[in-house]
Amino acid sequence: MASIGKITRRGLLATGALVGGGLVLGLTLSPNRLKIGSASVLEEDEVLLNTWVKISPDNRITVITPHSEMGQGANTALAMMLADEMDADWDLVKFVEAPALPEFANTGLGRGYVLGDTSIPAFAKPMVEFAFFNLAKSMDLQITGGSLSIRLTGEYGMRRAGASARAMLVQAAAERWDVDPSAINVSDSIVSHGNKSATFGELSSEAARLEPPLNPRQKERSEFKLIGTSQPRRDIPAKVDGTAVFGIDVELPDMVYAAIRHAPAFGGTVASIDEGSVAGMPGVIKVVNLDDAVAVVADKYWRAKTALEALDVTFDGGPDGNATSDSIFASYADALDKNDSSAHFESGDAAGVISGAADVVRSEYRVPFLAHACMEPMNCTAVVKDGKCEIWTGSQNPLAARTFAADAIGLSPDKVTVHNQFLGGGFGRRGRDDFVPQAARIANQLDRPVKLIWSREEDIQHDHYRPAVANRFEAVLGGDGLPSAWSNLYINVGQDEPEEAPDIPYGIANQSIRKVSMSQPIRLGPWRSVGHTQHSFFNESFVDELAHKAGMDPFAYRRALLQGQPRHRKVLETAAEKAGWGDPLPADRARGIALEQSFGSIVAQVAEVSLSEDGTVRVHRVTAAVDVGTAVNPDAVEAQIQSGIIYGLTAALYGNITIDGGRVEQSNFHDYEMVHMAEAPEIEVHIINSGEKTGGAGEPGTPPVAPAVANALFVLSGKRIRSLPVMLHDLRPATGSQQVS
C-alpha cells in the first residue's frame, strides 16, 4: 500500500516485477487499460468512452479524475488537459472524482514516474500499460500529493485519454459517413466533414464500441487551445455559496459522534479505563478502547468531547517516554560527529580540497518538527452494517483508505465503499489516514453511523510530522570568491526524502553530499514539499554565507554559479528584476533571495523584510518567478505559488513542534501559531513557460521562502539564522551590519 512521499523509482520497479508478471516479465495477453472502468460512474444514458471520460446524449462530457480536491485546483486543470486533446467545448465539460475502486487506480502515476517520456513500441503498449495498472492496483495508487497530478496524471493519463477519445469519435464518424478519418474536422465537441456534422454525444454510442487506441496522436504545444489559458476553477462556486461538502460536513440519519484522546506519548497505550466515570452523563452512548486511544460516543459532539474530558483513563508512557527535542538533536549531533555516512552525490575531490585549505567556511543548520495544521481537523464518518462498511471522509488516497478501513474490521476491500469529500487542507497529512480505521472500528461496535472528529489539540499533538533534521557544511572559496569545494553532511531519518532534495544547481567542481541515516522516536509523514523545505533552507542560507564571505552581492554570486544552468539563471534573474533587486529601500528594510528546484519546477523568490528596533520581523513583499515548463492553468499556478509561500512563511516565522517526555508540547493555534491575514505579504508571481517538461505547482512555492527571509534578516541584523523558526531568535539590529541588496 502506497503512501505519499514514499514512492521511489526503485520501489515501483521492484514492486512491478512481482505484480501479475508485470514490468519485468511482461504479459502475453494484456487487456486494454483504457477499456477498464466501472459502470458505477454512469448516470442515465451516459456512455463510458474510456476509463477517464464519459459522454451524455446532450453532448456533455464528464472527466473522471483520480485525484482529490484540497484547494489546489488540479481537477480543473486535468479536465482542461483532456478536453484540449478532445477538441471539446470547455463549457460542456465537467469533472467528477473517480470512485475508490481498483478500476480507477492511477496508472499514470507509476508509468510517468518510472518511464517518463520513454517511447514504448506499439506492440508492447498493452503489456506495459496493463503492468502499470496491476502495479497501481497492488499499491492502492490513487494518491494526490507530491505535485504529481498535472505532471504525471495529466501528461501520461488525461491527455492520452482525451486524444484516444477524440480518435474513437473520429473513427465512428468516418464509419458512419464512409469517409477517410484524416478528412474529418473536430472542434468544440462537433465532428464534421463537408456538410455533415455530428456532436460527440450523437456519436458516443458508436464510438464506445471501438477499441480505445493506447498510442493516439497527441497535440504539439503549438496546437493547444485550452492548455495555457486561465480558466476559473470548477470547485470554487460551491465553496463560495456554501454548498461544498467537506468531510466534517457530512450528516447522516441517526448519526452519532465520537471524540478521541490518544496516548500522550508516542507509542503509548491505554492502561486502564473507568467507564463508570462517565456513566449517566447526558447523551453518552459508548466508550471504545482503541488500544492506543480511547473514544467516547455520544448523541452530540460536544457531549462526547465533554464526557471524554471527564473520563478516568490512564495511559502508559510508551517506549520513548523520555524523548525530548534536546535529546533528539543531541543524537543528531553525535551521529554527525561519528560520520557513519553514505554518499548521496560525489563530484571531484571535495574532501581533498577542504583538507588542504587554510581557510574553510563551516556552518551547522537545523530545523524542527512541523505539524500540518490543516484548517479542517481530521474526521471520518463510518457505518458498518450487514457485513459492509461505508466511509465518508476527505482523503488524499481514497483507494488506500478503503484498504485501511477493511483491514481494521476484518473485511475484504470490496466490502468497503469510500465517499471522498472535499479536503479542508491536506499538505500530506490526509495521505496518512489513521483516522479512517479508527472510525471503522468504532462504527463496528454500533448499529448506526458515527462521525469521528479529532479536536484541534489531538490534531496538533498526534500528527505525522515533518522531520526535525540537521546538517553540517564545509566550503572553500577560490581566488574569485566562488566555491571550489562544497561539502554537506546531513541527517536522513528515512522518511519522505525526495532523492534530489539535497542537490544544488550551482557549478561547483568539487562536491560531497553525504547522508547519515538514523531513526528517531517521533512519527513522521510527508509535509508540503517534504525534504526540499529543509534542504532549501540549508543550502540557500549557506550560499548566502559564502557570498558574504566573498564580499559579493548574493544575487550576483548565485548568477555567477549558474553559468551552466540557463533555465535556473533565467528564473533567478526574473525574480531579481521584478523585485527591484538593488533599488534603494528604507533603512529598516532589506531583500533576501533564494532559488530551489523541486517537483520538476524551478522557483526563485525575493523577500522584502523589515526589522523594527524591538526585533519585530515583518515580511512586506515576496516576489516569485517560477518555471513549470507549461502552466496548464496559469491562474491556478499563481494561486498555488501564493499558497506555498504563505505556508512556508508560517513555518519560517513560527513553526516549531517541540517534544518533552515523548510527547508534543504544543496543542492549538495559541502555541502553534499561523501567519495571520494582517501579516500576509504582498505576493507577485511571474510565470515562465519554458516549454520544458511539465513540473508541479502545489509544492515548489514553499521551500525558498524561509531562506529568502533569513537572508534578508542577516542584512538587517548581522545575525545569521541557522535554525528555525525565526521567532526564537533575538534579532534586535546590530549597528554597522547594512549591506547592499
Residue 165 grid coordinates: 477519445
Cβ–Cβ under 8 Å, residues 606 and 619:
no
Task: Let me know whether 105 and 24 are in one domain.
Answer: yes
Asked, for residue 506, whether it belongs to a domain, the answer is no
Mean pLDDT value of segment 216-228: 97
Asked, for residue 510, whether it belongs to a domain, the answer is no
Q: Residue 734: which pLDDT band, with cuts at 50, 70 and 90? A: low
- Give the 3-state secondary structure of residue 99: coil
Mean pLDDT value of segment 139-143: 94
CATH number at residue 164: 3.30.365.10
Written as one letter, the residue type at 322 is N
Residues in the chain: 741
Whether the pLDDT of residue 9 is over 80: the answer is: no
Cβ–Cβ under 8 Å, residues 329 and 509:
no
Compute φ and ψ for 80, nearest 5 degrees: -60, -40
**d(C-alpha 555, C-alpha 575), whole Å:** 10
Summarised one tens digit per residue, pLDDT across range 480-513 is 999 999 999 999 997 667 889 999 999 999 999 9
Q: What domain range includes position 696?
A: 530-728
Cβ–Cβ under 8 Å, residues 5 and 525:
yes
Of the listed ranges 129-138, 400-409, 635-644, the least confidently predicted one is 129-138
Cβ–Cβ under 8 Å, residues 317 and 661:
yes
Asked, for residue 593, whether it belongs to a domain, the answer is yes
Asked, for residue 543, whether it belongs to a domain, the answer is yes
Compute φ and ψ for 548, nearest 5 degrees: -65, -45
Q: Residue 234: which pLDDT band, with cuts at 50, 70 and 90? A: very high
**d(C-alpha 164, C-alpha 410), whole Å:** 40
**d(C-alpha 723, C-alpha 48), whole Å:** 54
**d(C-alpha 21, C-alpha 33), whole Å:** 16
Of the listed ranges 98-102, 319-323, 365-369, the least confidently predicted one is 319-323
Cβ–Cβ under 8 Å, residues 257 and 297:
yes
Mean pLDDT value of segment 335-361: 97
User: Taking Cα atoms as reference points, which of 287, 333, 337 lies closest to residue 312?
Assistant: 287
Check residue 61 and give its pLDDT.
Answer: 98
Summarised one tens digit per residue, pLDDT across range 197-208 is 999 999 999 999
Mean pLDDT value of segment 686-693: 96
More confident residue, 1 or 420: 420
Burial of 491 (0-12, 13-18, 19+ CB in 10 A): buried
Last residue of a domain, one of 431, 453, 475: 453
Task: Let me know whether 633 and 586 are in one domain.
Answer: yes
- Torsion, CA 525, CA 527, CA 532, CA 535, rounded to 10: -70
Angle, CA of 688, 689 and 690, to the nearest 5°: 100
Domain count, the chain: 3
Residue 536 grid coordinates: 532549501
CA atoms within 13 A on the CB side of 279: 5
Whether the pLDDT of residue 554 is over 80: the answer is: yes
Which percentage of the chain shows pLDDT scores above 90?
89
Residue 148 grid coordinates: 504529481
Mean pLDDT value of segment 633-652: 98
**d(C-alpha 331, C-alpha 467), whole Å:** 14
Summarised one tens digit per residue, pLDDT across range 49-83 is 999 999 999 999 999 999 999 999 999 999 999 99
Whether the pLDDT of residue 22 is over 70: the answer is: no
More confident residue, 16 or 94: 94
Written as one letter, the residue type at 602 is I
Other CB atoms within 10 A of residue 432 CB: 24
Residue 720 grid coordinates: 545569521
Task: Let me know whether 142 and 117 are in one domain.
Answer: yes
Last residue of a domain, one of 400, 429, 453: 453
Angle, CA of 435, 703 and 611, to the nearest 5°: 115
Task: Let me know whether 548 and 669 are in one domain.
Answer: yes
**d(C-alpha 204, C-alpha 165), whole Å:** 9
Q: Residue 176: which pLDDT band, with cuts at 50, 70 and 90? A: very high
Task: Let me know whether 216 and 271 are in one domain.
Answer: no
Task: Let me know whether 594 and 703 are in one domain.
Answer: yes
- Give the 3-state secondary structure of residue 365: strand
Cβ–Cβ under 8 Å, residues 85 and 159:
yes
Give the contacts of 587 (CB within 8 A, at least 6 positions apart): 738
**d(C-alpha 240, C-alpha 249), whole Å:** 15
- Give the 3-state secondary structure of residue 452: strand
Summarised one tens digit per residue, pLDDT across range 27-38 is 446 899 999 999
Last residue of a domain, one of 419, 453, 487: 453
Check residue 599 and give its pLDDT.
Answer: 96
Task: Let me know whether 411 and 391 are in one domain.
Answer: yes
Task: Let me know whether 233 and 123 are in one domain.
Answer: yes
Helices (H) then strands (E): counts for the chain: 19, 27
Whether the pLDDT of residue 239 is over 60: the answer is: yes
Cβ–Cβ under 8 Å, residues 651 and 527:
no
Whether the pLDDT of residue 613 is over 60: the answer is: yes
- Please report where in the chains the cell 526503485 appears, as a residue: 10
Whether the pLDDT of residue 619 is over 80: the answer is: yes
Strand partners for 260: 295
Asked, for residue 209, whether it belongs to a domain, the answer is yes
**d(C-alpha 599, C-alpha 44), whole Å:** 40
Please provide the distance, in angstroms rounded to a whole number, between the alpha carbons at the two ends of the chain.
Answer: 49
Task: Let me know whether 234 and 309 are in one domain.
Answer: no
Mean pLDDT value of segment 240-257: 97
Task: Let me know whether 225 and 99 are in one domain.
Answer: yes
Secondary element (H or E) of residue 625: strand 617-627
- Angstrom CA distances, 185 to 193, 227, 651, stand at 6, 20, 52
Task: Let me know whether 267 and 177 are in one domain.
Answer: no
**d(C-alpha 113, C-alpha 7), whole Å:** 9
Cβ–Cβ under 8 Å, residues 477 and 361:
yes
* Strand blocks (E) in 115-178: none
Asked, for residue 680, whether it belongs to a domain, the answer is yes
More confident residue, 736 or 629: 629
CA-based diameter of the chain, in Å? 85
Asked, for residue 362, whether it belongs to a domain, the answer is no
Mean pLDDT value of segment 287-299: 98
Mean pLDDT value across the chain: 94
Task: Let me know whether 309 and 206 are in one domain.
Answer: no
Mean pLDDT value of segment 619-628: 98
**d(C-alpha 98, C-alpha 280), whole Å:** 45
pTM metric for this prediction:
0.94
Cα torsion 647, 649, 650, 655: sign? positive
**d(C-alpha 197, C-alpha 237), whole Å:** 34
Check residue 1 and give its pLDDT.
Answer: 41
Measured in whole angstroms, the distance separating CA 227 from the mean position of its chain's CA atoms is 22
Asked, for residue 740, whether it belongs to a domain, the answer is no
Measured in whole angstroms, the distance separating CA 698 from the mean position of its chain's CA atoms is 7
Written as one letter, the residue type at 100 is A
Summarised one tens digit per residue, pLDDT across range 692-722 is 999 999 999 999 999 999 999 999 999 999 9
Check residue 127 and give its pLDDT.
Answer: 87
Mean pLDDT value of segment 513-528: 95
